[in-house]
Amino acid sequence: MNKPAPLLRPDSEPGLVVTPPELAGLDSSLSTMSVVPGSRMFEIRDALAVYERDFPGGEQFDASQGDGGASLPGVPAEIFETANKLQIDHGSAYDQPFGCAAFRKSVVEEYWKLDSGLSLGPENIIAVQGGRDGLLKAYEAALFLGRGRRGDFVITSRVPWISYNWGPYLIGANVLLAPGREDEAWRLTPDTVRTCAEYVRRFDGREIAMLIVTSPDNPTGRILDLESQAGLARAAFAAGVPFVLFDWIYHHVTDEEPYDLNRFLRLFAPEERDRCIFLDGITKSLGASNVRNAHLVASKKVVKFIQNRASHAVVPSFHSQAVAMAAYRMGFDKACAGIVGPTNASRRILSEFLAEKEFRTIVGKGYYAFIDVGPWIDRAGLKDSADMGSYLAERFGLAVVPGVYFSEYGRRWIRFSYALPPEKTRRAAARLWDALSAL
């Protein structure tokens, strides 16, 4: 059915782009919403400047970063050379808002190797300009295609990645930290999902628009097997949650097999698959943070919605897709070995060190260990892990991310990145122990 055209008015009168019933709702909440703070992640390295000033020539350790391209070799030159050739052949004209057809095909056939029996193909893929762009587009799709309103909630874990706190809020969703026990690494469970669904209804009839499941987790490194993730999704669907987003951006950075999307999708009925959205890309596993390539796998309806909006907003660059295609064609295990291999080796070194020193920790997979430094915070009379982070960086040249940056529930913890060469990880761990022992 054709959409009715707006009423034609005389040339002397303004004209509407949409019909009066389709006008965006009048909403004054912008005047009462919290001011969104800038991410403090970009401030952490500033503290190292104090150490450099006071201890010139001292070795510094940046265990705060989540950028393998900064701390490890990053994207191999061979991949960049292939991508540059693809860019030259492709030219510099506009691509489609979903990216380009060759990228979609490469994601389906060379990266995920999707089974045709699952009825997923290139039309279920949309390129995005990095993970944050993909997440914002997914949140917006969940709000519009779910209940068609702003103000509903997105559920995250108790101690989420910083941008999970604020990304949904940017486009009019609220964020709810799920219940979770510290001694269980704040693990999401079907029961906590149900508790969230009951809790949000006390806020003027609001509902949940989306559940985010991220594994391996940032900041804790906690991992969930595929069956557990599917159980969370089914609990969400049963509670009336329209969409579940699976953030798998770290799933190649493991000493086990990466997630198998074919096997995972077979855990769901076809109608449930349409409510699943997957985020993946090359920013972490290939150390390609500043290349800005990621993709979403979703139903055709979700992809079409995002595609239409992207045509008026952010269209992904071809070069970022070319880098991904070059890596996929090489064989992604080979392409990302320069990041995955050293990170896995560093994880083993750090795990052994933390166990030897009897730290209370969460060390799963991905890039990060979450370390309880509460006893040392108490011993030194510090307020929280932000004070500890300043102390470590300014006096010992070790940059970490204070857990309190993620949420108040992480105020006694620090995130320690081991996406570093193994011997540097060993020295960074020793520096941590020296710093804590000096308190």
**Dihedrals phi, psi of 162, to nearest 5 degrees:** -55, -45
Whether the Cβ atoms of residue 200 and residue 179 lie closer than 8 Å to each other:
no
Q: In Å, how far from its chain's centre is CA 298?
A: 16
Domain termination site, one of 332, 361, 391: 332
- pLDDT for position 270: 96
> Would 108 be classed as within a structural domain?
yes
Alpha-carbon dihedral angle through residues 377, 383, 387, 392, given to the nearest 10 degrees = -10
> Would 168 be classed as within a structural domain?
yes
> Would 21 be classed as within a structural domain?
no
Helix (H, G, I), strand (E, B) or coil at 352: helix
97 and 231 part of one domain? yes
323 and 354 part of one domain? no
* CATH number of the CATH domain containing 242: 3.40.640.10
Domain termination site, one of 332, 358, 378: 332
Domain termination site, one of 306, 332, 358: 332
Helices (H), 58-177: 68-71, 77-90, 101-106, 131-146, 162-170
**Domain of 311?**
78-332
- pLDDT for position 44: 79
> Would 427 be classed as within a structural domain?
yes
User: What's the pTM?
Assistant: 0.95
200 and 318 part of one domain? yes
> Would 22 be classed as within a structural domain?
no
295 and 358 part of one domain? no
- pLDDT for position 38: 85
Q: Where are the beta strands (DSSP E) in 131-234?
A: 153-156, 174-177, 208-214
328 and 345 part of one domain? no
Pairing of the two strands 401-402 and 413-417: antiparallel
Alpha-carbon span 396 to 59, nearest angstrom:
9
**Cis upstream peptide for 219 (omega within 30°):** yes
> Would 420 be classed as within a structural domain?
yes
H helix or E strand, kind and range, residue 271:
helix 270-273
Our count of domains for the chain comes to 2
Distance in angstroms between the alpha carbons of the first and the last residue of the chain: 71
432 and 391 part of one domain? yes
H helix or E strand, kind and range, residue 272:
helix 270-273
- pLDDT for position 160: 97
- pLDDT for position 65: 87
424 and 298 part of one domain? no
Token duo for residue 403: 């857990």
167 and 241 part of one domain? yes
54 and 134 part of one domain? no
350 and 324 part of one domain? no
> Would 351 be classed as within a structural domain?
yes
Query: Strand pairing partners for 296?
Result: 126, 279
59 and 194 part of one domain? no
- pLDDT for position 2: 64
Going residue by residue through the chain, which has 439 residues, state the pLDDT in tens, using 9 for 90 and above.
Answer: 566 665 667 788 898 888 889 998 888 898 999 999 888 777 777 889 999 999 999 999 999 989 999 999 999 999 999 999 999 999 999 999 999 999 999 999 999 999 999 999 999 999 999 999 999 999 999 999 999 999 999 999 999 999 999 999 999 999 999 999 999 999 999 999 999 999 998 998 899 999 999 999 999 999 999 999 999 999 999 999 999 999 999 999 999 999 999 999 999 999 999 999 999 999 999 999 999 999 999 999 999 999 999 999 999 999 999 999 999 999 999 999 999 999 999 999 999 999 999 999 999 999 999 999 999 999 999 999 999 999 999 999 999 999 999 999 999 999 999 999 999 999 999 999 999 999 9
> Would 73 be classed as within a structural domain?
no
263 and 161 part of one domain? yes
* CATH number of the CATH domain containing 394: 3.90.1150.10
Give me the count of residues in the chain. 439
CA dist 107 → 102, 275, 320 (Å): 9, 20, 13
